[in-house]
């Protein structure tokens, strides 16, 4: 690999008077003062002026420096960055779907509604739950919607309750969602296996607790095997068990959260069901619930009678709208295409392969990197930089060095219960060859940490830009280009 | 390493008693774990807090972490210098990098905290 030379900013290649387009001559009488009284910006300072070839080359060169899931492994733990099958995009770009107007009358969008209903039914089958909304626009939005349903239920009983319990290994969005929903968060400590401490839960659970938010498998990749007992403890005090479905990739087709006594959960279509995320989104975070929470679901709810689909807005106990129109419709279509394409056996194989790939990686790197918890893991595993610390090398240095090997680094410094964490989730879409490439790079880096730690501390060496000053950028961000 | 005149909590805060008031900050261990601190979210003076409740938030390049008050009390002053230069917490966690000053409600709560030697021993179980 050779070092890529730095592409100038578009402002830096600008020169006055250049243009990439030409408007046709005005062939109607000119009208003045059409925008009289409207505040208009008079001039845009330093607006770049470039020719068409310059602009095409500039952005093409920039795009060539990009790393994406079409190039290689993207092992961001807890993000499930799997490959996004092209067939999904093809289906979702059918003109009949892309050109539907969101305000078109129901009788003209029966096909669209049918697709949404189909996806709802499939997701309910996968989760083992009883009612669902497709509306939330992302995972955290789904969390908030789920918490609002729980609050609405408790409120309807006369007391919204005060607290939500969340394990110390949870995604940061869990406490945020509970807080935004008006709850105070109490943290549950993990035990030596890295799972929820049943004693701690029993001590904290009372009639003031609205819900427990649990991720299963958790962010260490460990299956919360006490989940049924945990659910019983929460239910015995009238609380709800919320499951963060971020890691459903490890369970789909194998076991169903509804059978594990979960009351409400969100699903990340952009993780488990292969729709794009990160910069390529948007995401979608449907929320599935037990019957008891159905009356509170957001409006509109899709109903079917004799093969005719109808959007029902008349639901007195509903928490109302959580999203304009009907959620991320085309994302739902892509997820549906994915599920139908795999079928039940394929979905099961997806989860099995995700777990197999992760364990193959774990076995090959064990001993070279520390595993703080040696509990068996499913779809992801969390190493730390403990062994490398002896040579003055941190998880940041290891991650930066991976860039030199042309690979995307894993999630870093999360979950918070593992210091110097490197959280690796390969997903099922990586071949044995791709996994081996990653393993070989990690092995080489472990060697380099011993023999030449300076090489890691100054990495990356051959990327488009070298190590950036994150601290300076966070403390004094420069958000506009200036001459 | 850890000053003898401070009290320490298991969540890595320190307290310094000055009459009816205590000065609160985070320990050297905490600042090292967090890495470069880029923002400290300070409470308003007059805010009252129960023991073990969040009283401030510290943001580093790695994470956002709550600062818990080990004792109940009322905020009388916050360290305004941290607004512009939060890095003082990294540079001098037990001195200039103090976070706030509390009027303490019940001095007997201090007895539940650790002295320097106990805290150092406690850290040995934490270091990795």
Q: Whose CA is closest to A134, among A346, A290, A335, A351?
A: A335
Q: Check CB contact under 8 Å for B128 and A471.
A: no
Interface probe for B, chosen from A395, A399, A414, A474 (most Cβ of B below 10 Å), is A474
In chain B, where the domains are located: 7-106
- Helices and strands of chain B, counted as H and E runs: 4, 9
What is the per-residue pLDDT for A4?
A: 55
What is the per-residue pLDDT for A279?
A: 67
Residues 43-72 of B with CB under 8 A from A: 61-64
Q: Check CB contact under 8 Å for B86 and A386.
A: no
Interface probe for B, chosen from A183, A471, A472, A476 (most Cβ of B below 10 Å), is A471
B128 in reach of chain A (CB within 8 A): yes
Q: Does residue B54 contact residue B47 with C-beta atoms inside 8 Å?
A: no
3-state DSSP percent of chain A in helix, strand and coil, to 5: 40, 10, 50
Residue B92, pLDDT > 90, answer yes
Respond yes or no on whether ipTM tops 0.90: no
Of A370, A412, A475, the CB nearest to B38: A475
d(CA A269, CA A316) in angstroms, rounded, equals: 29
d(CA A358, CA A381) in angstroms, rounded, equals: 7
What architecture is the B7-106 domain classified under in CATH? Beta Barrel (2.40)
Longest CA pairwise span in chain A (Å): 81
Q: Check CB contact under 8 Å for A419 and B33.
A: yes
Residue A200 distance to chain B (closest CA, Å):
16
Within 8 A of A386 by CB-CB distance, chain B residues are 128
d(CA A272, CA A287) in angstroms, rounded, equals: 14
What is the per-residue pLDDT for B126?
A: 74
Cβ-Cβ pairs closer than 8 A, A with B, add up to 26
DSSP type of residue A295: G
Q: Measured in whole angstroms, how far is the alpha carbon of residue A393 from the centre of its chain?
A: 29
DSSP type of residue A371: -
Q: Which residue of A has its CA nearest to B84?
A: A475
Q: Check CB contact under 8 Å for A413 and B62.
A: yes
Interface probe for A, chosen from B34, B37, B40, B61 (most Cβ of A below 10 Å), is B61
d(CA A216, CA A247) in angstroms, rounded, equals: 7
Q: Does residue A422 contact residue A395 with C-beta atoms inside 8 Å?
A: yes
Q: Which residue of B has its CA nearest to A474?
A: B38
Q: Which residue of A has its CA nearest to B126?
A: A419
d(CA A464, CA A66) in angstroms, rounded, equals: 10
Interface probe for B, chosen from A383, A413, A423 (most Cβ of B below 10 Å), is A413
Within 8 A of A414 by CB-CB distance, chain B residues are 63
Q: Does residue A192 contact residue A227 with C-beta atoms inside 8 Å?
A: no
The strand pairing partners of B49, in sequence order, are: B73
Taking the CA atoms of chain B, what radius of gyration do you get in angstroms? 13
CB atoms under 10 Å from CB of A440, counted, come to: 12
End-to-end CA distance of chain A: 33
d(CA A27, CA B73) in angstroms, rounded, equals: 76
Q: Which residue of B has its CA nearest to A372?
A: B128
End-to-end CA distance of chain B: 18
Q: Does residue A155 contact residue A319 with C-beta atoms inside 8 Å?
A: no
What is the per-residue pLDDT for A1?
A: 45
Q: What confidence tier does B61 reach under pLDDT thresholds 50, 70, 90?
A: confident
Question: Where do the DSSP E strands lie in A37-145?
Answer: 131-133
CB atoms under 10 Å from CB of A262, counted, come to: 24
**Average pLDDT by consecutive 10-residue portion of chain A (483 residues)?**
71 92 91 87 83 95 90 94 96 95 95 98 98 96 98 98 96 95 94 94 97 97 97 98 97 97 97 86 94 98 96 97 94 98 97 98 97 95 96 96 97 90 97 97 98 97 90 87 79
A457-480: burial string, b at 16+ Cβ within 10 Å, e else: bebbeebbeeeeeebeebbeeeee
Per-residue three-class SS string for A341-368: HHHHHHHHHHHHHHHHHHHHHHHHHECC
d(CA A118, CA A120) in angstroms, rounded, equals: 5
What is the per-residue pLDDT for A470?
A: 87
- Read off the pLDDT of residues B101-122 as tens digits, 9 standing for 90 and up: 999 999 999 999 999 999 999 9
Residues 17-46 of B with CB under 8 A from A: 33, 36, 38-39
- The structural domains of chain A, ordered by start, are 86-341 (3.40.640.10), 344-473 (3.90.1150.10)
Of A370, A386, A413, the CB nearest to B63: A413
Q: Whose CA is closest to A194, among A361, A352, A367, A384?
A: A384
Q: Check CB contact under 8 Å for A471 and B36.
A: yes
Within 8 A of B33 by CB-CB distance, chain A residues are 419
Residue B121 distance to chain A (closest CA, Å):
19
């Amino acid at each position: 690999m050779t070092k890529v030379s730095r592409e100038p900013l578009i402002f830096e290649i600008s020169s006055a008077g250049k243009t990439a387009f030409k408007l046709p001559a005005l062939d109607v009488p000119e009208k003045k003062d059409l925008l009289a009284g409207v505040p208009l910006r008079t001039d845009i300072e330093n607006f770049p002026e470039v020719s068409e070839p310059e602009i095409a080359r500039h952005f093409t060169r920039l795009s060539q420096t990009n790393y994406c899931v079409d190039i290689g492994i993207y092992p961001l733990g807890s993000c499930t960055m799997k490959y996004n099958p092209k067939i999904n995009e093809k289906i979702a770009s059918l003109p009949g779907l892309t050109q539907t107007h969101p305000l078109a009358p129901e009788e003209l969008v029966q096909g669209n509604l049918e697709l949404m209903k189909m996806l709802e039914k499939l997701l309910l089958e996968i989760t083992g739950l009883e009612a669902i909304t497709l509306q939330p626009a992302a995972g955290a939005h789904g969390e908030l919607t789920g918490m609002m349903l729980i609050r609405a239920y408790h409120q309807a009983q006369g007391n919204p309750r005060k607290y939500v319990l969340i394990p110390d290994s949870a995604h940061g969005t869990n406490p945020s969602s509970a807080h935004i929903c008006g709850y105070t968060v109490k943290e549950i400590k993990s035990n030596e296996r890295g799972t929820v401490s049943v004693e701690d839960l029993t001590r904290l659970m009372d009639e003031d607790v609205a819900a427990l938010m649990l991720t299963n498998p958790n962010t260490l990749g460990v299956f919360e095997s006490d989940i049924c007992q945990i659910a019983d403890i929460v239910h015995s005090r009238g609380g709800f068990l919320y499951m963060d479905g971020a890691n459903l990739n490890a369970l789909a087709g194998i076991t169903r959260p509804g059978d594990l006594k979960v009351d409400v959960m969100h699903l990340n279509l952009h993780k488990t069901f292969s729709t794009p995320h990160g910069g390529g989104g948007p995401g979608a975070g449907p929320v599935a619930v037990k019957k008891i929470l159905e009356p509170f679901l957001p409006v509109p709810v899709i109903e079917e009678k004799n093969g005719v689909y109808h959007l029902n807005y008349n639901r007195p106990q509903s928490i109302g709208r959580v999203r304009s129109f009907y959620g991320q419709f085309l994302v739902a279509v892509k997820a549906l295409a994915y599920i139908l394409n795999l079928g039940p056996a394929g979905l099961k194989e997806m989860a099995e392969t995700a777990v197999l790939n992760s364990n193959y990686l774990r076995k090959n790197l064990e001993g070279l990197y520390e595993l703080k918890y040696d509990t068996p893991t499913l779809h992801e595993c969390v190493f730390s930089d403990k062994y490398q610390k002896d040579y003055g090398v941190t998880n940041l240095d290891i991650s930066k060095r991976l860039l030199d090997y042309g690979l995307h680094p894993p999630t870093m410094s999360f979950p918070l219960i593992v210091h110097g964490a490197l959280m690796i989730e390969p997903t099922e879409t990586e071949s044995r060859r791709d996994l081996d490439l990653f393993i070989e790079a990690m092995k080489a880096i472990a060697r380099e940490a011993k023999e030449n730690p300076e090489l890691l501390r100054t990495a990356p060496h051959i990327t488009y830009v070298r190590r950036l000053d994150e601290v300076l950028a966070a403390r004094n961000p420069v958000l506009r280009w200036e001459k | 390493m850890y000053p003898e005149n401070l009290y320490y909590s298991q969540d890595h805060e320190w307290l310094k008693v000055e009459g009816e008031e205590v000065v609160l900050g985070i320990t050297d261990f905490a600042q090292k774990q967090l890495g470069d601190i880029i923002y400290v979210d300070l409470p308003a003076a007059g805010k009252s807090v129960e023991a073990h409740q969040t009283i401030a938030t510290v943001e580093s390049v790695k994470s956002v972490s709550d600062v818990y008050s080990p004792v109940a009390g009322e905020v009388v002053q916050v360290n305004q210098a941290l607004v512009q230069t939060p890095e003082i917490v990294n540079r001098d966690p037990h001195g200039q990098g103090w976070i706030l000053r509390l009027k303490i409600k019940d001095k007997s709560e201090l007895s539940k905290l650790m002295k320097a030697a106990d805290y150092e021993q406690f850290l040995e179980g934490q270091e990795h």
